[in-house]
Amino acid sequence: MTERVTVVVVNWNGAHLLAPCLDSLAAQTEPHRVLVVDNASTDGSAEVLARYPTVEVLKLDTNTGFAGGAQAGLEKCGTEFVAFLNNDATAEPDWLAGLLAPMAVDPGVAATTSRILLTADGRINNAGGAVTKWGAGYDRGYGEPDGPPYDEPTDVGFFCGGACALRTFAARGLGGFPVPYFLYYEDTDLSWRLGLSGLRIRYAPAAVVHHLHSASSDQSSVTFAFHNQRNQLLTVLRNAPAGLAIASLLRFLAITALRVVRPGSEHTQRPQHRLRVLGAVLRLLPRTLSQRRAIGRQATVSRRVFRRRWVGASPTAIR
């Protein structure tokens, strides 16, 4: 049978994580190809991958982050669908079949997102992405017990890049993942653009993944704080209605000014950190505004309509 989907696994120094991930893909009921995009690993990942002769490997010369690795995989993929699985996750055997089923019956669905469970306790890690009224992304259902309402399929505004599937040419047609983001919000940004193009994202609870949360990145690190905050602002500036984009930037400026007077102890609340984020956003502002105009020209759904439906919705509201 000809494979209709390629599973892309982005890897950077994940030799200790790869075997369980790849073994779970080998057990899938849906025929597929596997492509590991290796971000210039130096930890023995190559030796692990050599034990999987059917796995295709794309070795990048430098570490391009998850965004760069995912985009490289998307560009190389030649199948109708492309799926993404974090190297610190394992998929149940019907995972791929569960992801592809909604797209097979509904051409308006351009992406599907998995029921991701925390390996540690089996609670929900992600049941589709969500965004606050300020444009900050979060995991729908995070920390809640597995079960109702997360066992029911539904449309969501955003997919989780750690375990999802996309229509290859739909994602490519919108430019794919924003490579300069490096880490974080690349999935939120692409989801937003899919929605503005009139395409839908479906939460597929039959597609179950177990995730070692933060095994491949340290969410308490300065790197996480910088990319997370910078990319959240860039995503809003690129995609949100003008009022929200301006308000989010002004809010960040106001909190930064407050932290100059009263610094906080966390990375995100230190004035030096916030000024670094602000400087990065301002340097990228001309290009970001140009990209905003291009996204607007491609849109078939108004930014205000998308915001009313998906931005600011609570997990309860999108059940």
Contacts 24+ apart (CB under 8 A), 47-54: 47/15, 48/15, 48/18, 48/19, 49/18, 51/19, 52/22, 52/26
Q: How large is the average pLDDT for residues 58-77?
A: 98
**What confidence tens digit (pLDDT) does each residue in 117-156 have?**
999 999 999 999 999 999 999 999 999 999 999 999 999 9
**Residue 313 — very low, low, confident or very high, per pLDDT cuts 50/70/90?**
low
Please say whether the beta carbons of 49 and 36 come within 8 A.
Answer: yes
**What confidence tens digit (pLDDT) does each residue in 233-260 have?**
999 999 999 999 999 999 999 999 998 8
Secondary-structure class of domain 5-211 per CATH: alpha beta
Cα–Cα distance, 124 to 319 (Å, whole number): 14
Please say whether the beta carbons of 201 and 159 come within 8 A.
Answer: yes
Start-to-end C-alpha separation, the chain: 36
Q: Is the pLDDT of residue 316 over 60?
A: no
pLDDT > 70: percent of the chain: 95
Q: Is the pLDDT of residue 319 over 60?
A: no
Q: How large is the average pLDDT for residues 66-83?
A: 98
Q: How large is the average pLDDT for residues 19-27?
A: 98
Please report the pLDDT score of residue 169 as a whole number. 97
- Which amino acid, 72? A
Q: Is the pLDDT of residue 314 over 80?
A: no
pTM above 0.85, yes or no: yes
Cα–Cα distance, 315 to 319 (Å, whole number): 6
Please report the pLDDT score of residue 217 as a whole number. 58
Can you give the residue ranges of every domain in the chain? 5-211, 222-299
Please report the pLDDT score of residue 264 as a whole number. 72
**Angle at which helices 222-239 and 242-261 cross, to 10°:** 150
Q: What is the 3-state secondary structure (H, E, C) of the chain?
A: CCCCEEEEEEECCCHHHHHHHHHHHHCCCCCCEEEEEECCCCCCHHHHHCCCCCCEEEECCCCCHHHHHHHHHHHHCCCCEEEEECCCEEECCCHHHHHHHHHHHCCCEEEEEEEEEECCCCCEEECCEEECCCCCEEECCCCCCCCCCCCCCEEECECCCCEEEEEHHHHHHCCCCCHHHCCCCHHHHHHHHHHHCCCEEEEEEEEEEEECCCCCCCCCCHHHHHHHHHHHHHHHHHHCCHHHHHHHHHHHHHHHHHHHHCCCCCHHHCHHHHHHHHHHHHHHHHHHHHHHHHHHHHCCCCHHHHHHHHECCCCCCCC
- Which amino acid, 156? V
Please say whether the beta carbons of 233 and 281 come within 8 A.
Answer: yes
Please report the pLDDT score of residue 219 as a whole number. 61
Q: What is the mean pLDDT of the chain?
A: 94
**What confidence tens digit (pLDDT) does each residue in 169-201 have?**
999 999 999 999 999 999 999 999 999 999 999
Q: Is the pLDDT of residue 317 over 50?
A: no
**Residue 216 — very low, low, confident or very high, per pLDDT cuts 50/70/90?**
low
Please report the pLDDT score of residue 292 as a whole number. 98
Please report the pLDDT score of residue 265 as a whole number. 73
Q: How large is the average pLDDT for residues 163-174?
A: 98
Rg (CA), the chain: 19
